[in-house]
Amino acid sequence: MGTYFNEGDWVWHKKMGVGQVGLSSERELLVEFQGGVEEIFEVGPRKRPPLCALAEDGFWLKKKNDCEAFAAIIKEEPLEVLLALVCDQLEEFAAGELKNMLTPDLIPEAEWDQWHKKLTLVARNDPRFNVAKGDVISYQGELFEIAEDMLARFKKAPSLKEKQKIIREMIQLEQKGVPVDEIREAAISFFTGTTVSRTNKMGARLEALIFLKDLDPVQHGILQDPLLEEINALTDEKSAEAVSEVQEANVRRALLDIIKEQRPDEFIEIAFMLAKRFKKMQRDWTLDTLLGYEDKTHIKTVINTTMADIATNMQPFVWLFKALLEKHEALAPVGPEPGELIKAMFKILNNMHFTSVYSRRTDDISITREEDELVKILLDWKKIFAFLEKQSKSLIGHFVSFYFECNAIEVERREEFVKKSMEKFPGIELIEERSKAEDDYIQLTKEAYIQFQEEYRDIVDNKLTEALNDVKTAREWGDISDNAELRIAQERQRTLQSRKSELERLFETCQIIEQ
């Protein structure tokens, strides 16, 4: 039979309220609602009527049959409302829906806000319920069901990261009274195996050891010393590689701290490897960590070494300029003078831009990673202005002047930056003449100088003429407002003109050196 309800069952309809089943057959269901209204619902194997079966101790019957007593209970024990709703097969409760159910019969309108805050607080501390964004409360199950579900999820978790996430959840729920003995045993067995197995990466083994500290302190103590011995036995390169592979920041920090404590003489070399030979994320994280240490010896060593030979320490140098803008107060006690760093940065950036390798097949520039990153930093005007607001007018004037002469940035953007700077910092004076000191000249080998001369002649004799002809041809194709070919041709012409000006500036300021 396709009937889901029996005669005499109490049911709830979202619009019509509480009712009782009068007649039931294989195809139809007659329900009498409060007020004497009767409604017939079709039923069948594939058709379930929009009714909810009510439990004798559920919300709707308590509200109907024992309103005053139920109201007194829920004022003292707000969770009784949610538990009664769960009996009525409802498992998610938005604040608005709850208010419609409870006011004014059970909770007076004037008391609603205070009562709902109390309910939310109690639900947050009860593992059977979860409070999501917007204070939507959902039922998670009884304690034994939560524990069984968590154990099943832990066993099926496809990765170490997923298992760790479940254990963090387990530790939180254990504090709320969820019985977790089975999953705790499974986790201890798993993390012990992860720590012991030498096929796992060092970061994963250390992370497993960290979890064991909370799960099983005895096992943690047994496994800690052998792992520390292995960390001490790693080469500098393998140590840096192990740190770089760790995804979790707290575990990465723990591994770096172990290396710092166990191998102080090699620590700075390992940190330099992370700053120079690995990805930007590892570089920034490593140097930010050194800057955050109470002992500033290591970050001072990095900064001094970087400034002494910027060419071979470009990655740390990029971080240093970025830190000047974003972490000026933290950097100030250990870093170089802002004016010195700014001057060096613009000089280095101009040099990198001029000596970028140009493809013979296209007009595109082969930009280095460091040049690209520095340009992106310089285009973040919000951070630049936030930094300049704390500086002297003299330094602001120098920064803006250097910015205007920075050929790595498009002319239009440079001009706009100067304009906004003059508006934001009235009274600043720009440097009118560029210094001709030897260290301001761009150094080129003879071979590079000849290459740039050839490129300049090719632009003047051939490419600019071709670009002009392309613009003229594109103009003849019709509507200028919707002419993609014209825009492309004009952009290429502007690029060539800009490059021509850059090369002319290069020839004025370069110094030929022997290889």
Q: Which residues pair with 198 in a beta bridge?
A: none
* Residue at 357: amino acid letter: V
Distance CA 472, CA 486 (A): 8
Distance CA 246, CA 249 (A): 7
pLDDT of residue 375: 92
Kind and range of the H or E element at 229? helix 217-233
Residues of the chain with pLDDT under 50: 1-2, 357-365, 433-439
Distance CA 351, CA 408 (A): 9
Kind and range of the H or E element at 315? helix 314-326
pLDDT of residue 25: 83
Report which DSSP code applies to 469: H
**How many other C-beta atoms lie within 10 A of the C-beta of residue 66?**
12
3-state secondary structure of 119: helix
Q: How far apart are the first and last CA of the chain?
A: 94
Bridge pairing between strands 92-93 and 129-131: unpaired
**How many other C-beta atoms lie within 10 A of the C-beta of residue 393?**
13
Distance CA 269, CA 262 (A): 14
User: Tokens in use for 329?
Assistant: 């107060």
Q: Is 18 within 8 Å of 25 (Cβ atoms)?
A: no
Q: 391: which residues sit within 8 A by CB, 6+ positions away?
A: 338, 399
Distance CA 470, CA 488 (A): 9
Distance CA 506, CA 514 (A): 18
Q: Is 26 within 8 Å of 1 (Cβ atoms)?
A: yes
pLDDT of residue 239: 93
Task: Find out whether the peptide bond into 50 is cis, omega within 30 degrees of 0.
Answer: no
Burial-class residue 332 by CB neighbours within 10 Å (0-12, 13-18, 19+): exposed
Q: Is 503 within 8 Å of 456 (Cβ atoms)?
A: yes
pLDDT of residue 362: 44
- What does pTM read for this prediction? 0.62
What values do phi and psi take at 246, rounded to 5? -75, 130
DSSP 361-413: SSS-EE--HHHHHHHHHHT-HHHHHHHHTTS-HHHHHHHHHHHHT-TTS-HHH
Kind and range of the H or E element at 102? helix 95-102
pLDDT of residue 243: 93
**Among all chains, which residue has been given the structure tokens 């959902």?**
138
The CA–CA distances, whole Å, from 405 to 411, 420, 433, 491 equal 9, 16, 11, 21
3-state secondary structure of 199: coil
User: Tokens in use for 431?
Assistant: 């440097």
Distance CA 334, CA 332 (A): 6
Distance CA 214, CA 168 (A): 10
Question: Shortest CA distance to 345 belongs to which of 379, 394, 378, 312?
Answer: 378
Question: Shortest CA distance to 322 belongs to which of 337, 304, 341, 307?
Answer: 341
Q: Which residues pair with 20 in a beta bridge?
A: 10, 32
User: Tokens in use for 309?
Assistant: 């030979």
Distance CA 93, CA 98 (A): 6
The full length of the chain comes to 515
Q: Is 51 within 8 Å of 5 (Cβ atoms)?
A: yes
Q: Which residues pair with 130 in a beta bridge?
A: 138
The CA–CA distances, whole Å, from 325 to 91, 304, 385, 389, 391 equal 50, 18, 9, 11, 11
Kind and range of the H or E element at 358? strand 357-358
What values do phi and psi take at 13, rounded to 5? -115, 135
Q: Residues 130-162, buried b or exposed e (16+ Cβ, 10 A)?
A: ebeeebebebbeebeebbeebbebbeebeebee
pLDDT of residue 44: 79
